[in-house]
Structure 1
Amino acid sequence: MEYRKLGETDLAVSAITFGAWAAGGWMWGGNDDDAAIEAMKTAHDMGVTSIDTAPIYGQGKSEELVGKAIKGIARDKVQILTKYGMRWDDNKGTLAFKSKDNDGKDIDIYKYAGKESVISECENSLKRLGTDYIDLYQIHWHDMTTPIEETMEAVLRLKEQGKIREAGVCNYTAEQMLTAETVIKLASNQVPFSMVNRGIEDELIPHCIAARKSILAYSPLERGLLTGKMQPGQKFGEGDHRASVKYFKDENIKRTNDFLTRIKPLADEKNATLGQLVIRWTIEHPGITIALVGARNAEQAKQNAKAIEVKLSGEEIEFINTQLNDLQIVG
């Protein structure tokens, strides 16, 4: 495995980090708890020492499963990345969207990051995770009702108390990052980035490179689309959010598969899967520090970790990029 420091901090995380959204079941049509825990343990055995989670993933469930998975592992041998700022148990802030929990009960999700909320969320996360500190604490989404400075003052207090090691953000613009940094030094910004979703290339990546901030790319496999295992007419289970996402429209699955067919010979040449080739391309992309990749079971976790063994030359990356430039996503 390769390990990379976040921003200008001393916090080193695995270049392939375990993304634990699906482990919470919520918005993924449920999950198998034992399989999720085994996936995390297997990933760690393969050198994936970092796990990214959030309270909202299963309304605490993902964090609880992470806590069970890391139990017995020396605390300095694992890095816990979690978040705050999305509440299902309070109605302050702004309504983000309506959803259902894992039991099918209606819930309202709010974006809220007032100072007192950040402090209490951290305490709850520490309990669920079974630890006394969080390595990277990230705001999940910008809360328009709370000044960024107020939110970051709470995070600074948590850092001074030793409850978190470093501060990060998610889904922030470059301007929002600059505002946050008037209060606390940021390590990173976690944002969506994949071969079919490259919107951060114009502004955010150049900013982070210049400011020496890390980018944690989430959904690098575009939630399974870039594995090549999906076909037009794909059926998703009840509660699976992908059914309403544009990338999973039949026409876009077809177009993506046509692109993947063109780069598959390169994957075959390297004795790698398409998913592994995509993960490697992601962490080789300028400005991208970490790829967050989820796994439902131990075998998927093992295959994801092995992506680190794929080596790409400059010419091979250019070949992939050339093929990618012909891919147009519609809708």
Structure 2
Amino acid sequence: MPMDPTHTALGSWSGGRFMHFGEPLDDDRLTALLRPGDGIDTVLTADVYGEGEADRLVGRALSGVPRDSYCLVGAIGHDFYEGERAGSKGFPRFTSTRDPSQWASYAREATERSLERCGVDAFDLLQLHNPDRTGYSDPRVWEAMEAVRAAGLTRMLGVAPGPANGFTLDLIDCFERFGPSLDWAMIILSPMEPWPGSLVLDAAAEHGVRTITRVADYGGLFWDDVHPGHVFREKDHRLFRPAGWVERGDERLERMRPIAERHGLTVMQLACQWDLAQPTVSCVAPTLIQEAGPDARTVESKRAELAGVPASVVLSDPEIEELRAIGDNTGSMVLKGAALDHAGEPQPDRWSLDSSLAEVASRWRIDPARDLVKTA
């Protein structure tokens, strides 16, 4: 029987090889980390990670594992075949590198190549990865994605905004426009980062879209081995976070810890439980990070900890709200996607808030000037 995403998942961005979080694992350790089984049966990858290398590692991890025993989630959208990388901004989206008449052929070819690297015939779920404004709103993009499904290359379709936080109105707009095509969406969500991800959940529920959450670990703090004074390795992505984020997060973590202890959970398991308690959230995929240094906790122990997350929510409603209040981050950052303060040409990850998106905001009782701006 085909498998839908399970309540916990492994992402190929883990292990420091394709996204710079902590120490990069060697091939053998990363392959073992990503192999489904032992309590985690969903694996997520994206074709752009390592320009296909992450897919190949996933293929090694899946080798010999019965196909009906795991759920495989892929993602396409960054055109590293014909586009040129723009430094830290990455590769352009295919909607900017190719004529609309080529979008369907790109989607099929990118999917087939990703599947070949993974060593399988079809994804269970294929996501549109980090779309630009066109990807959220142009029906030709989703006709191309539906053609991939019709060809039998995936059973389900989804959208995965990013890589930074935001895209709130764009994602809701996508639900409204293409809800019948969308089975899943992936968002950033954590009890230390409930904003702005929580704002899309009611719309997801109305349109029957289930959600996968990433960054539940909040940059590794919930793994409980990043504390004030922690030394990050050179070029670690977390060095771009604002000064003091570890200290502020550590203080909030200690206020959350008694709730975890009350249920016999680690604080990472608590974060996953909080995510799973939110409307439509059915799968949690935190980043598994091997911190720098010879005495660091092993990433393998973190995988085992993730496997121990209860599938059923054990938190009470008052506990869920208490955690939200402790971690409330409303207004803490500049968001990507549609923005009141964006002027000029649309960028790959930021554009003006036009009249159609203003109407989306009104329908969902979102005030962009209040709910989608940095205030702190």
**TM-score, normalised by the number of residues in structure 2:** 0.73
User: C-alpha separation between the residues in 1 aligned to 2:197 and 2:56?
Assistant: 35
Using the TM superposition, give the Cα deviation of residue 317 of structure 1 relative to its aligned residue in structure 2, in angstroms: 2.4
Instruction: State the AA in 1 paired with 2:121.
Output: D
**Cα distance, 1:221–1:299 mapped onto 2, change above 3 Å:** same
User: C-alpha separation between the residues in 2 aligned to 1:155 and 1:326?
Assistant: 34
**Cα distance, 1:98–1:193 mapped onto 2, change above 3 Å:** same
2:187 to 168, 187, 191: 191
Instruction: State the AA in 2 paired with 1:74.
Output: P
- Do structure 1's residue 150 and structure 2's residue 128 form an aligned pair? no
Aligned counterparts, 1:127-166, within 5 A: 127-144=116-133, 148-166=138-156
1:221 to 208, 211, 217: 217
- Do structure 1's residue 63 and structure 2's residue 55 form an aligned pair? yes
Using the TM superposition, give the Cα deviation of residue 127 of structure 1 relative to its aligned residue in structure 2, in angstroms: 0.8
Percent sequence identity over matched residues?
22
How many residue pairs get aligned? The number is 305
2:178 to 174, 177, 180: 180
User: C-alpha separation between the residues in 1 aligned to 2:93 and 2:209?
Assistant: 24
The equivalent residue for 2:203 is 207
User: Which SS does the other structure have where 2:191 is aligned?
Assistant: coil
**Cα distance, 1:253–1:24 mapped onto 2, change above 3 Å:** closer
User: Which SS does the other structure have where 1:173 is aligned?
Assistant: helix
Using the TM superposition, give the Cα deviation of residue 60 of structure 1 relative to its aligned residue in structure 2, in angstroms: 1.3
Aligned counterparts, 1:36-51, within 5 A: 36-41=30-35, 44-51=36-43
Greater shift after overlay, 219-228 or 165-174? 219-228
User: C-alpha separation between the residues in 2 aligned to 1:329 and 1:265?
Assistant: 25
Greater shift after overlay, 217-226 or 17-26? 17-26
- Do structure 1's residue 257 and structure 2's residue 253 form an aligned pair? no
User: C-alpha separation between the residues in 2 aligned to 1:329 and 1:200?
Assistant: 10
User: C-alpha separation between the residues in 1 aligned to 2:254 and 2:90?
Assistant: 41
User: C-alpha separation between the residues in 2 aligned to 1:56 and 1:326?
Assistant: 30
**Cα distance, 1:158–1:229 mapped onto 2, change above 3 Å:** same
Deviation digits for residues 35-68 of structure 1 (CA, Å, limit 9, x no counterpart): 1111223xx3332111111012222121111111
Name the one with the larger strand percent.
Answer: 1
User: C-alpha separation between the residues in 1 aligned to 2:64 and 2:3?
Assistant: 21
User: C-alpha separation between the residues in 1 aligned to 2:189 and 2:106?
Assistant: 29
User: C-alpha separation between the residues in 2 aligned to 1:27 and 1:240?
Assistant: 9
User: C-alpha separation between the residues in 1 aligned to 2:69 and 2:308?
Assistant: 19
Using the TM superposition, give the Cα deviation of residue 139 of structure 1 relative to its aligned residue in structure 2, in angstroms: 0.5
Using the TM superposition, give the Cα deviation of residue 144 of structure 1 relative to its aligned residue in structure 2, in angstroms: 4.0
User: C-alpha separation between the residues in 2 aligned to 1:53 and 1:326?
Assistant: 28
2:306 to 295, 304, 307: 304
**TM-score, normalised by the number of residues in structure 1:** 0.83
2:29 to 35, 41, 45: 35
Using the TM superposition, give the Cα deviation of residue 202 of structure 1 relative to its aligned residue in structure 2, in angstroms: 5.7
1:280 to 256, 273, 278: 273
Say what the alpha-carbon RMSD is for the aligned residues.
2.6
Instruction: State the AA in 2 paired with 1:120.
Output: E
Instruction: State the AA in 1 paired with 2:273.
Output: R
**Cα distance, 1:238–1:324 mapped onto 2, change above 3 Å:** closer
- In structure 2, list runs of 5 or more residues that go unmatched: 96-102, 162-169, 290-298, 334-375
